[in-house]
Structure 1
């Protein structure tokens, strides 16, 4: 899937449902006024905007021109000053030791080369700075979604699962032993499973791309089955928790 995929659907609406991740990440990263922050794979800007609201000097970077345009608009609406740039998490366009804090909220985890991405995060972060990331866990409901979808659309041979970034062992291997971990969850509450499935199938760019590639029926059936399986509500509504791992060096 290419960055052009993100111009489809309505990822902004999807990202609005997980803004709490940015709040938790920025708090755990101990971002203070005046520090230089890089938000890697910033998407629509949730974490970058949250950091800027704390008075940080923020740069947000994403591979998708469409997402950067959305982040720029949202940042302006939030009345914060953020530099939004197009760029690749695997080849960050910055000098060594450029930032006090490097953050990523469920973004960098989808870059194909984990080791190269981790090396870039470390390279642009000051030696006495912090790297703070939030990633979906394999054990959580969102992790189960990606696993379920991989059954009908397997990843390229030899590729590493993005969900590895949601494991303590993998993050320690990539970022070293001096990492603190916390598990958190996004609480999803929706009027009904069917409404939520329809919303995601028509709004979330990866699902739209899968429907175009595989056909609507198999993707819809697979996704709807996952929604029903993770639903904790018994009153006709939808309620589930999406677990993620926060890691801070």
Structure 2
């Protein structure tokens, strides 16, 4: 009971974190990931699709563009509103509904395909979230995920944040969703097949300083970290993030291109 209470408190803090800033500013740059995931799941026109922890709707839009009947969910209503605006601009029919990834308000086997891009991986109770994805997906359906890896840039960014603001004890890091063995622990019992492919997404900014400025302003976890630290702590975090960005930068001194590894996962439901 104590663990559940702690996880609920953590979830409340996470909701506040993701609601701060404006994730859509970052999220729209990641649209390619949703398109690739929709193709990896080989979506059929007319299939029912659930996007879990959808953010501002990258996988949602990708599925709707392919003729799927999409329900887009997130526990942060402000993010769903950004997705709704995007869908309306493209004249795509999508249902938007607030929902907790650990307690999805849908019947068993309600969807042909369940998707999540860099979303469900941040749930506090990973086993419960995986069970919910599985429960609402029909037998023979597909669960498609895009998850940052621990070794990749975003995995290292969160590791850097953790050095300055240690996470609560006993909570599994989100980047475990980028580890194939962990995914098999979560899904093997309910999967007929699990396919895991490593991909790179390139963050493109003017410089390390530009990246930090954008993420500090708009990306909830980074925004909250800087706000929580004293001036000297914030300066130390900025130095560490600059060093990390410059280490990954492949564009040379006049620009910033930072490849970040993620896994593209397609699970066929047993």
Deviations 1:108-160 (A, max 9, x none): 00001110000000000001111111100111111111111111111111000
Partner of 1:236: 254
Instruction: Tell me the TM-score normalized by structure 2.
Output: 0.89
Partner of 2:154: 142
Gapped runs of 5+ residues in structure 1? none
1:80-229 to structure 2, matched below 5 A, reads 80-176=92-188, 178-215=193-230, 216-229=234-247
CA distance in 2, matches of 1:17, 1:3: 21
Contact 1:197 1:227 in 2 (8 A): no
CA distance in 1, matches of 2:86, 2:257: 28
Partner of 2:53: 41
Contact 1:149 1:222 in 2 (8 A): no
Helix, strand or coil: the match of 1:59?
strand
Of stretches 6-15 and 53-62 in structure 1, the one that deviates more from structure 2 is 6-15
Which 4+ stretches in 1 moved above 6 angstroms?
none
Of stretches 217-226 and 198-207 in structure 1, the one that deviates more from structure 2 is 217-226
CA distance in 1, matches of 2:236, 2:96: 37
Deviations 1:9-63 (A, max 9, x none): 2211101221111011111011111000000000000100110010000001101
Gapped runs of 5+ residues in structure 2? 1-12
Q: What is the CA RMSD across the aligned residues, in angstroms? A: 1.3
CA distance in 2, matches of 1:123, 1:138: 27
Contact 1:191 1:238 in 2 (8 A): yes
Of stretches 230-239 and 70-79 in structure 1, the one that deviates more from structure 2 is 230-239
Number of equivalent positions: 249
CA distance in 1, matches of 2:43, 2:170: 37
Evaluate the alpha carbon distance shift between residue 22 and residue 223 of structure 1 in structure 2; reply closer, same or farther with a 3 A threshold.
same
